[in-house]
Amino acid sequence: MSIVSEPIAENAAKKRGSRRRRGGGSGGGGLHSRDGRMALYLLGPTMVMLALIVGYPIVNAIYKSFQTDPGLDDSTGLFNEGNEWNGVGNYTHWILQQCNAVGGGTETCPSGNLGSQFWDSVWVTLGFTVVTVIIEVVIGMWFAMMMHRAFRGRALVRVAVLIPWAVPTAVIAKLWVVIFDPQGVLNNVLGTSFAWTSESGPARAAIVIADVWKTTPFIALLILAGLQGISSEIYESAKVDGANAWQRFWRITLPLVKPALAVAVIFRSLDVLRMYDLPWVLTQGSNGTQTISILVVKELASKLNSAAALSTITFVLIFAIALVLVRLFNANIVDRGTR
């Protein structure tokens, strides 16, 4: 027993010693090893550039959000150069006091009044998010299951389905402007002359239709990737056990495709929450279609620090919604990737 075990232990000790020598005496890992220093040298410039390009603007915007904007001081009637410390004034301005625009201007509400431009934009954006994502998931699931089947011309169908997603959003929006025009394609087909973007309900419906048409292929593509990871033997076993099509979908397809579906829903929800170009091209944010991003861009034209506060609020809101969605779907990607 000792004759066999002693050479094995000796060889193992030699291997550990050689690994220590190759790793610079630190076990082959860490920043003090040769590989760790090389990784630091290679990643260092990139991290510095990211800190300058991404980190600095974010920190500066948060700092600016606590300062005043240039303009007339309501208390003195004199012009204020701005950039003075304002505390959370810009935040309370949006959350509590900024009322809907009246006659091209703004009306100051009593403290606690939540009927503001910000909250109107929040509810509109959340409404777009819920409606579009639900419709896109249903249609995307149907498209994915259709593309997953083996039939002649399947590659052509997949390409045709993905074309709307590949076209830039601004181009898609201009296309739908032509379709929804009073003299456009849709009214010619229906034999009417209705102005689809002139009222709140039809204008919102037009944005939902355009967004669903554009981005449903994205969800279909992610779900299709999840479907291709399911073995056909599972379905064959279920058929042998007497499971019908609905039971196979509910008991097999949906649970196994849940990770891909969770990623699709989270990414699409975050995408709609920051939607700007599609509603702006279609309606310029009028008739009850102003999203949070449109409100931020409008505020940037006149009040930079106030817009910075609004952007920070928007970031916190979107981050909170993303956290809720991750918890809801139990999509712990990091843990699943390390198992």
pLDDT band (50, 70, 90) for residue 161? confident
Residue 179 CA to residue 99 CA, distance in Å, equals: 34
Check if the beta carbon of residue 86 is closer than 8 Å to that of residue 67. Answer: yes
Q: Over the stretch 68-88, which tens digit does the pLDDT of each residue have?
A: 888 766 666 666 777 788 888
pLDDT of residue 335: 47
Supply φ then ψ for residue 108, to 5 degrees. Answer: -80, 130
In a domain, 16, yes or no: no
237 Cβ neighbours under 8 A, 6+ residues apart: none
Within-domain flag for 126:
yes
Is 39 a member of any domain? yes
Q: Say whether both 257 and 142 belong to one domain.
A: yes
Beta bridge partners of 105: 102
**Is pLDDT above 70 for 199?**
yes
State which residues form the domain around 151: 117-338
pLDDT at residue 105 greater than cutoff 80: no
Q: Which two tokens stand for residue 41?
A: 């040298």
Residue 166 backbone zone (phi > 0: left; psi -120 to 50: alpha; other: beta): alpha
Domain contains 52: yes
Distance (Å, whole) CA 117 – CA 123: 10
Is residue 153 domain-shared with residue 282, that is, in the same domain? Answer: yes
**Please, are residues 279 and 285 in contact by the beta-carbon 8 Å criterion?**
yes
Q: Averaged over 147-176, what is the pLDDT?
A: 84
24-28, 181-185, 224-228, 236-240: which has the minimum mean pLDDT?
24-28
Q: pLDDT band at 313, cuts 50/70/90?
A: very high
Same domain, residue pair 53 and 147: no
Report pLDDT for 126. Answer: 95
> What percentage of residues in the chain have a pLDDT greater than 70?
79
What pLDDT is attached to residue 235? 87
Q: Which 8-state DSSP code applies to residue 143?
A: H
Residues 194 and 124 in one domain: yes
Same structural domain, 166 and 300: yes
Whole-number pLDDT of residue 73: 64
The predicted pLDDT at position 77 comes to: 64
* Three-state secondary-structure class, residue 144: helix
Give yes or no for a contact between 217 and 165, defined as CB atoms under 8 angstroms apart.
yes
pLDDT at residue 27 tops 50: no
User: Is residue 71 a part of any domain in this protein?
Assistant: no
pLDDT, position 29: 54
Tell me the average pLDDT across 153-163: 80
Answer whether residue 163 is part of any domain.
Answer: yes
Q: Are residues 259 and 171 in the same domain?
A: yes
Q: What is the pLDDT of residues 242-261, one digit of tens each?
A: 888 888 888 888 889 988 99
Gyration radius (Cα) of the chain, Å: 28
Q: How far apart are CA 83 and CA 65, in angstroms?
A: 10
The rounded mean pLDDT for the chain is 80
| Total tally of structural domains belonging to the chain | 2
Q: pTM of this prediction?
A: 0.76
Q: Could you tell me whether strands 71-72 and 79-80 are parallel, antiparallel, or unpaired per DSSP bridges?
A: antiparallel
- Which pLDDT belongs to residue 115? 45
What pLDDT is stored for residue 19 in this prediction? 52
Same domain, 38 and 169: no
Q: What is the CATH number of the domain that holds 122?
A: 1.10.3720.10
Arithmetic mean of pLDDT, 22-34: 56
Q: Is residue 19 part of a domain?
A: no
Three-class secondary structure assignment of 73-114: CCCCCCEECCCCECCCHHHHHHHHHEECCECCECCECCCCCC
Residues 131 and 44 in one domain: no
Average pLDDT over residues 209-213: 94
- Is 84 a domain residue? no
Q: How far is CA 287 from CA 109, 120, 138, 181, 200, in A?
A: 22, 12, 28, 16, 5
Model confidence at 265, pLDDT cuts 50, 70, 90, reads very high
Q: Are residues 286 and 146 in the same domain?
A: yes
Q: Give the containing element (helix H, strand E) for 46.
A: helix 34-50
Burial classification of residue 77, based on how many CB atoms lie within 10 Å of its CB (0-12 exposed, 13-18 middle, 19 or more buried): exposed
Which residue is it, tokens 């309501």? 74
